[in-house]
Amino acid sequence: MDIVFNCPNCEQELAVDSAGAGTDIECPECHETITIPLPPVKNPAPPAEAAPAPSLAASVISSSAAAKIERHLKVPVGDKPTAVLIAKTNPPLGARKTSGEKRIRIHTIKHASCIESGHDKFDQKVTEFLNEIGEANMVGVHTISYTYFDVGTQKILNDYGVVILYRG
Ligand SMILES: [Zn+2]
């Protein structure tokens, strides 16, 4: 297999056996010492462009190296969102710390204990308590049902109530 190329000096088309690739020869036309290009560079383009070709290859290598560096840089870039996520999880932790003086508490209001002089003051008492803690400190209100022994009727009765979770 022959390498066909042009003399960089006189542009004479030359055909050399591929075994001589990379070696210096004397151009039979202009007697200039020229380097036989490697088989992949056997394009008929003038060797003047063969010089930019390796530099292009070098730029490809450097660009691929840059791409590799970019990938390496992308890893820290990928770490940044993680750091942001950590930073995002921090404010709630900080919020918990700042509200550290306020602890989660529960307050149970049983319906039976809100009967005063025969008047059902359950709703009123729950409302009063909710207003007391304030909406901002409200965590949740859960209904409960319970049984109790009613002394008056001597019966076990079912009743209901609420458990209020709040910060206070
Ligand atoms: Zn020549």
DSSP of 90-159, one letter per residue?
Answer: HHHHHHHHHGGGS-EEEEEEEGGGGEETTEE-HHHHHHHHHHHH-GGGEEEEEEEEEEEEETTTTEEEEE
In degrees and rounded to multiples of 5, residue 158 shows phi and psi of -95, 140
pLDDT of 41 reads 47
Distance of CA 100 to the CA centre of its chain: 30
Query: From ligand 1's centre to the CA of 56, what distance in Å?
Result: 24
User: Could you tell me the maximum CA-CA distance found in the chain, to the nearest angstrom?
Assistant: 129
Query: From ligand 1's centre to the CA of 81, what distance in Å?
Result: 60
Q: How large is the average pLDDT for residues 127-140? A: 92
Query: From ligand 1's centre to the CA of 55, what distance in Å?
Result: 23
Residues 24-63: tens digit of each pLDDT? 999 999 999 999 988 764 455 555 555 555 555 555 555 5
Query: From ligand 1's centre to the CA of 57, what distance in Å?
Result: 25
In the predicted model, is pLDDT for residue 74 greater than 70?
no
Distance (Å, whole) CA 7 – CA 4 = 10
Number of Cβ atoms within 10 Å of the Cβ of 164: 20
Query: From ligand 1's centre to the CA of 17, what distance in Å?
Result: 17
Query: From ligand 1's centre to the CA of 51, what distance in Å?
Result: 16
The pLDDT mean for the chain works out to 77
